[in-house]
Amino acid sequence: MAKQYDVLFRLLLLGDSGVGKTCLLCRFTDNEFHPSHISTIGVDFKMKTLLIDGVKVRIQIWDTAGQERYQTITKQYYRRAQGIFLVYDITSERSFQHIMKWASDVDEVISFPERCPSCAVSPNPLLTF
């Protein structure tokens, strides 16, 4: 069976429970939004294929459980990811404060090259990292 894509990227969504990781995933992959919240147990994923400049890019996005009891499981997925999104709820200062803990967890498992690109997205344009 021939591959249906030219490039595969594995991305990971990390953050506290209830911050909207699953909602982001469903919106991006299926263009759907479900306001009801059902916690992810362990890890789930969805895929989407995009055509970018004539190249078929398959994006595999892994949605992780934010509860502490699942963090041993989710850490196993860090090394296989080409990108990691740290997600927080803009109405929860606590979830924002935990972003540094999530970043630290990633740093424990993965050694990023010095020139590895990073990006911070904030709803507040005055906020800097």
Mean pLDDT for 20-49 is 82
- Checking phi first, is residue 39 left (phi over 0); if not, alpha (psi -120 to 50) or beta? beta
Name which residue leads in pLDDT, 85 or 113: 85
- Provide φ and ψ at 62, rounded to 5°: -95, 125
What number does CATH give the domain 7-109? 3.40.50.300
pLDDT of 25 strictly over 70: yes
Which of 1-5, 19-23, 96-100 tops mean pLDDT?
96-100
Q: How many CB atoms lie within 10 A of CB 16?
A: 22
pTM for this structure? 0.76
Token pair for 88:
């927080």
Phi and psi at residue 29, in whole multiples of 5°? -85, -35
Which residues lie closer than 8 Å to 45 by C-beta, 6 or more apart?
60, 61, 62, 63
pLDDT of residue 127: 46
